[in-house]
Amino acid sequence: MRNAQSTTSRDILNKMKEQEFEIYSLREMMNKLQEGIYITDGRGVTLYVNNAFINLSGLNREDLMGKRVYDLRDENILPTSCCARVIETKQAVSTINNYYHGQKCLVSGSPIFDHSGKLIRTIAIVRDVSELDAMMEYLGEEKESQNKIQIKNVPEIEKYTMPDSREPSMQEIYHKASNLAKLNSTILITGETGTGKDYLAAAIHNLNDDTKRKRLIRINCGAIPEHLIESELFGYESGAFTGAKPGGKKGLFEEAGEGTVFLDEIGDMPYILQVKLLNVLNDKQFYRVGGNTIINFNARVIATTNANLSRLVQEKKFRADLYYRLNVFPIILPPLQDRKKDIISLLNKFLKDFNHKYLNRHSYSPEAIQFLKEYPWPGNIRELKNFVEKSVVFSQGFAMTCDEVQQILSFEISNFDLSELPREPENLTETWGSLKNQMNAYEKRILSEAISKASTYREAAHNLGIDLSTLMRKKKRFNIKH
């Protein structure tokens, strides 16, 4: 009997130790997160906050634990409470909080229910708003003091015109684009990443006498956080939400005036917002968030995407009515491997530009040029441009050989059939640079391939097993131009 009791006691003790270890492990993992975590029970009593929240808010853990969020809000310890609003609405809520002794943060709260549907917990994820800067740069916003927004990643946009081409198919495309530029109709440009969709959009804008002297506003639909995109596009009135600026703020559609709204990566636009965009295109007017004054929309719209929109429509990820509204005048840009006659002219253009930029006199051997003509360029024009810049930087002002060209392109040519080329490389493995540089290059390649193969940035992040914000941060870090 005593042995049985002793065994039971040991089992209970072991179970308690296992639970203590699990709780300790969970807390340690939560404290490793960069995002702040705030957890309450169903009545709003604070159960847990991690170290990141303490650092972001500037509060003391002792002032929070065991206290109701309503009391903390009334005592001006919390400026507002996302968890309180979650309890009140029993829905996910997002707010922007300015902590009195801490940072300006984006707070996203969610309810947790038991099997019977009773609210038992709320959890809020708190992020420093500065972490969103990498995403917001894709909006093309300049410093607030300048009070204007311009397109990014389109060099010399004011001077850019329709390019020349030796390919009959491209000549036909550019002729069509030139004719469409005279109109103010909506245009949809599709094609693989790196085919020059943003350049063509800029050229169409500049060729229209009514818009070329006005603003071209680029909006990367996949780079704006979903909970911010409506207020960024349409603006908001004062007091529309917590953290809203006094006097409100113009949205990008309003900032465009009578210029051009360039909707880049339109396939990544959240489904719920697509109907609002459709209404704007149809009605030519909209409201600010929290406003009741009609704002007229007079800008032309150019949308681009590397996604298959018709497939997304079939998968119920893109609205069919919006697709048909955008697809009135479609332009499809072919990949560079289908434009062989343009490779050398583009190569010479980029070579001239980068030789001037880096004060170099770089060139390529005849064998290297032959290789570059036959290379499939999976990254299209963007890959060609990046290659030329890299080769100019690495060279010492001499004609680069075929082997040297293959070394620079070694990450891309691993699956390329070299049997018909003049010379075959002995080694396709990257051998230059430190281990850190090689690992960074390898990570960049993985990210680039994932983004290229996915229909949206969210899908790419999901396939890689990382958050969208992490993907966008790494995309900016490695200067991936997708």
Q: How many domains does the chain have?
A: 3
Domain that holds residue 246: 140-334
Task: Quote the CA–CA distance of 421 and 38 in Å, as a whole number.
Answer: 61
Instruction: Tell me the CATH number at 198.
Output: 3.40.50.300
Q: Of 99, 129, 159, which residue sits at a domain end? A: 129
pTM value surpassing 0.85: no
In the structure encoding, which two tokens stand for residue 417, read together? 């059939």
Type of residue numbered 475: K
Task: Quote the CA–CA distance of 362 and 392 in Å, as a whole number.
Answer: 6
- pLDDT band, very low/low/confident/very high, at 324 (cuts 50, 70, 90): very high
> Are 329 and 341 members of one domain?
no
Secondary structure element (H or E) that encloses residue 179, with its range: helix 168-181
pLDDT > 70: what percent of the chain? 80
What's the Cα-to-Cα distance from 279 to each of 111, 142, 237, 276, 282, rounded to whole Å?
32, 28, 20, 5, 5
pLDDT single digits (tens) 394-422 = 776 677 888 888 877 764 444 344 343 33
> Are 428 and 396 members of one domain?
yes
pLDDT single digits (tens) 325-379 = 999 899 999 999 888 888 988 898 888 888 888 888 888 888 888 888 888 888 8
Task: Quote the CA–CA distance of 131 and 123 in Å, as a whole number.
Answer: 20
The three-state secondary structure class of 111 is strand
333, β-bridge pairs = 191
Asked, for residue 86, whether it belongs to a domain, the answer is yes
- pLDDT band, very low/low/confident/very high, at 426 (cuts 50, 70, 90): very low
Contact 68, 44 (CB under 8 A): yes
Task: Quote the CA–CA distance of 155 and 165 in Å, as a whole number.
Answer: 19
- State the Cα angle at 334 between 329 and 340, rounded to 5°: 145
Alpha helices in 288-365 (DSSP H): 309-314, 320-326, 340-357
> Are 123 and 236 members of one domain?
no
Instruction: Tell me the CATH number at 84.
Output: 3.30.450.20
